[in-house]
Structures are given as C-alpha cells and as structure tokens.
C-alpha cells in the first residue's frame, strides 16, 4: 500500500493508501532544521515556518485559514532539529485543495516586511513561554550544555538576540539555499491515489530548483558536565543524560525496549520506584533523542527541592541496576508488548501514518514496515539490553542539569560514582 515516485526535478512523492478511512493527511517535508543553521542564523528555520502562513501572491493569511476552516480541516507546521514539515489533514475529497494551498504557501509566500515584524513578536513570545515552562526548558538547557558549540545544541526557536537580528534578506536567502528539490518530499496517507497525487505534484512542484547548499556536518562531542541553575520555582527540575545512539544504530530496537522498561509508562521502573513507592514526584520518565549520526538518552524528574538527593539516588541506582543486570524476563516481555501495542494504536490515524512515511524516508530512505519493526522489537535479548545500558550508563560520561530554587546548594558528579 506504500508507493514512492520521483518527479523530474528530484522531488519525492510518498503515499500510503488507507481505503478504510475518510481523511487524508499530507505534508511537505524539508530536510532542514536548526541543525543546519550557523549560530548567527539560529531560529531562521522556525521563523520561516511561521511566515509561510502569512500570505502569498494569491491568498491572504485569512483566506489561507478560511480555506481549511470551510472544510473542517487542519493546517499546521512544525520545525525540528533535522526537518521542517508543513501539513494538512482534510477529508479525502478535499485533498486536491489542500495540496494546492500547501504548494501555494510553500512556493509563493511573499514575506511581507510588516508581517515579518509582527511575527517576530510572536516568536519572541514563544521563546519566553518556553523559558517559563521549566519542565520543557530544562531539556533545552541540557542539550545546549551537553553538546555545547555544536549546531544540534542550538534551540529550535533561536534566542532573543538571534531572532531580533533576522531580516527579510536572511530569510529569503536561507530558504533559497535549502528549500531545494533534493531536500523536499511530499508524504500523504489516507484517502489518496498515488498516481493522481504524483501528477498533481509534478505540476505544482516541478519548478523547485535543484541541489542547493551542500551541508557538511559531524556528530557532536559529549560534555559530561553538572550544571546547577538557580531559578525561583516551586519544584526542582532534574535532567540526567549521557551518550546515546543514532536513528539507524543496530541497537535501536534495544533502545526502544530499554527506554520503555526504564521510564516509559506507569509500570516502568522509575515510575514505580520514585512515584508509586515513595511519592517523591508527579512526573518522571526516561527518553531517547536520536538524530542522523548521534543521540543521547535522558531521565527527567520534577520534585520538591528537599527531595532532590533522594530522587537522584534512586534514579541513579536504577541506572546502575540495568547496566549490571539488564531487565527481568517479565519486564523484557512487558516492554516489548507495550511497544508493539503503542505502535499499532498510533497507526490508526492518517497523520501518524504520514509522519511515519516521512521519518522513514529521512532516516532510512526506505519504508520500514510495521512487521519489520515488530520483528526487530521481538528479537531484542537481555544481552542487547546490557550491551546498550553499559554504553549509556558510564559515570564519567553522564551529565546533569538541575533547575530550581536550590538555595545555593551545589550537587556534584559524586552522585554518579560507581558503588564500592
């Protein structure tokens, strides 16, 4: 049911037909994100994402919004570290309209100077909002310091300083250099006919210019630091992490299983030990952030400042246990089953299917079927878990950021020291 075509200038068209649904989701994906920005350009990819909804040569911003409201559809976009997506979800009968409007904003946006100034204020408010949300902000703090000096460490939104300096020339030249046919593809799922969409896209996107700027990048260098950041907050926020793996690493399935068992749900070790047995947190979870050539794993927790030491001790103890022994057979089986269930449930919507198509194209250049994922998950052994955990949980490579009212108290690296 998954098909791929390439039109004359190199733009790729990927579709997954889902005859049983009435909706269609379609996205224009650009293999460009904050990773590809110079420090002085930081935030440009995200700023462009905002501006593409602010009017074209044919349509005002209001007319763009009205086109989708009139059919009960959704139009939105997001920017990541390594990609940007402009997408729509509509009834199948409205897919042609959605494709035309998406193409219009992608190719014909005018970047009106007045809109740039208005949207600059919106982006600055977005940055302020993120900084006022400590359980989100701490992740930016961690990445910024763990990979300091590398483009992957830069925040997607940019900073107040860089956003204030972005001008129209920078926006248009950045887009011209990176929004090229070799880095653009269209992904659609749901009520979609592949040949019909391909023909439509050939007409709409056939004029996208070829190869642009050649990106040269290398993986970041990890910095095993401890950062204590004072801020007047009710809670202390903790982020612990260390070197992880890339999206295509051979142990990626083991990473999915380990992350699920360690902190991926209410039955996970961290949730049970820290929240259920001790009542020391409301939120605690583990996570993996993976990119083309690198990644890191992490654990987040928010707690009363008085309980920071206890939360850290229990969390690090669980990391040590899994490094030494891996998972119990029942944990391993439960994590696999949870992953497979979540995966299948997540595939019921057309937007999830569209996103899966795109991520597979970006990181694997092919379809990775649900059957292949299931087989990969089922094949994970405890030896794989121990091998992966041993590469992650190395005391001399772990990093930590604490954010909150620490009252001048500093927590050091000794929390990671191996047990005697």
- For 266, the 3-state DSSP assignment is coil
Q: Where are the alpha helices (DSSP H) in 156-271?
A: 160-165, 168-178, 194-205, 252-263, 269-270
Alpha carbons 217 and 211: distance in angstroms, whole number: 17
Secondary structure (3-state) at 30? strand
Closest alpha carbon to 53 in 126, 104, 90: 104
The length of the chain is: 420
The region that residue 154 occupies, defined by phi over 0 for left and psi between -120 and 50 for alpha, beta otherwise, is beta
Euclidean distance between CA atoms 405 and 43, whole angstroms: 29
Q: What DSSP designation does 271 have?
A: I
DSSP code of residue 13: E
Decide: helix, strand or coil at residue 418: coil
**Longest distance between any two alpha carbons in the chain, whole Å:** 70
CB 209 within 8 A of CB 180: yes
Asked if residues 46 and 52 have their Cβ atoms less than 8 Å apart, the reply is: no
**DSSP E strands: which ranges in 31-183?**
74-79, 84-91
**What is the C-alpha separation between 301 and 411, in angstroms, rounded?**
15
Query: Do residues 79 and 42 touch, judged by C-beta distance below 8 A?
Result: no
Conformation bin of residue 417: beta by default, left when phi > 0, alpha when psi is -120 to 50: beta
CA distance 308 to 409: 11
How far apart CA 136 and CA 39 sit, in angstroms, is 22
d(CA 285, CA 287): 7
Q: Does residue 276 carry a catalytic annotation?
A: no
Q: Catalytic pick from 37, 49, 115, 323?
A: 49
How far apart CA 270 and CA 119 sit, in angstroms, is 41
Report d(CA 33, CA 82) in Å as an integer.
Answer: 4
CA distance 255 to 253: 5
What is the set of active-site residues?
49
């Amino acid at each position: 049911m998954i098909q791929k075509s390439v039109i004359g200038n190199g733009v790729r068209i990927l579709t997954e037909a889902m005859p049983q649904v009435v909706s269609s989701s379609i996205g224009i994906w650009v293999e460009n994100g904050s990773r590809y920005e110079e420090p002085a350009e930081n935030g440009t990819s995200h700023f462009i994402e905002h501006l593409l909804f602010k009017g074209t040569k044919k349509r005002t911003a209001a007319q763009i919004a009205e086109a989708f409201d009139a059919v009960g559809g959704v139009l939105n976009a997001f920017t990541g570290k390594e990609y940007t997506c402009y997408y729509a979800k509509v009834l199948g009968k409205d897919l042609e309209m959605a494709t035309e409007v998406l193409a219009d904003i992608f190719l014909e946006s005018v970047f009106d100077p007045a809109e740039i100034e208005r949207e600059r204020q919106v982006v600055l408010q977005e940055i302020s909002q993120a900084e006022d949300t400590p359980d989100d902000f701490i992740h930016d703090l961690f990445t910024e310091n763990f990979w300091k000096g590398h483009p992957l460490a830069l925040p997607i939104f940019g900073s107040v300083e860089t956003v204030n300096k972005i001008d129209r020339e920078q926006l248009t030249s950045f887009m011209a250099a990176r929004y090229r046919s070799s880095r653009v593809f269209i992904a659609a799922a749901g009520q979609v006919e592949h040949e019909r969409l391909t023909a439509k896209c050939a007409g709409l996107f056939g004029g996208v210019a070829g190869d642009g700027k050649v990106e040269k990048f290398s993986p970041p260098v990890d910095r095993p630091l401890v950062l204590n950041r004072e801020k007047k907050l009710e809670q202390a926020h903790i982020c612990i992490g260390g070197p992880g793996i890339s999206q295509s690493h051979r142990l990626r399935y083991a990473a999915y299983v380990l992350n699920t068992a360690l902190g991926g749900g209410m039955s996970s070790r961290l949730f049970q030990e820290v929240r259920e047995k001790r009542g020391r947190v409301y939120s605690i979870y583990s996570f993996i952030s993976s990119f083309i050539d690198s990644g890191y794993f992490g654990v987040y927790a928010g707690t009363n400042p008085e309980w920071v030491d206890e939360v850290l001790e229990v969390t690090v103890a669980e990391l040590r246990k899994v490094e030494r022994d891996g998972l119990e057979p029942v944990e391993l089986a439960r994590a696999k089953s949870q992953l497979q269930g979540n995966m299948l449930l997540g595939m019921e919507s057309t937007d999830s299917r569209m996103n899966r198509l795109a991520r597979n194209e970006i990181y694997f250049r092919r379809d990775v079927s649900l059957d292949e994922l299931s087989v990969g998950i089922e094949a994970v052994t405890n030896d794989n878990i121990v091998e992966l955990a041993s590469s992650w949980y190395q005391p001399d490579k772990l990093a930590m950021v604490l954010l909150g009212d620490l009252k001048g108290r500093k927590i050091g690296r000794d929390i990671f020291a191996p047990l005697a």
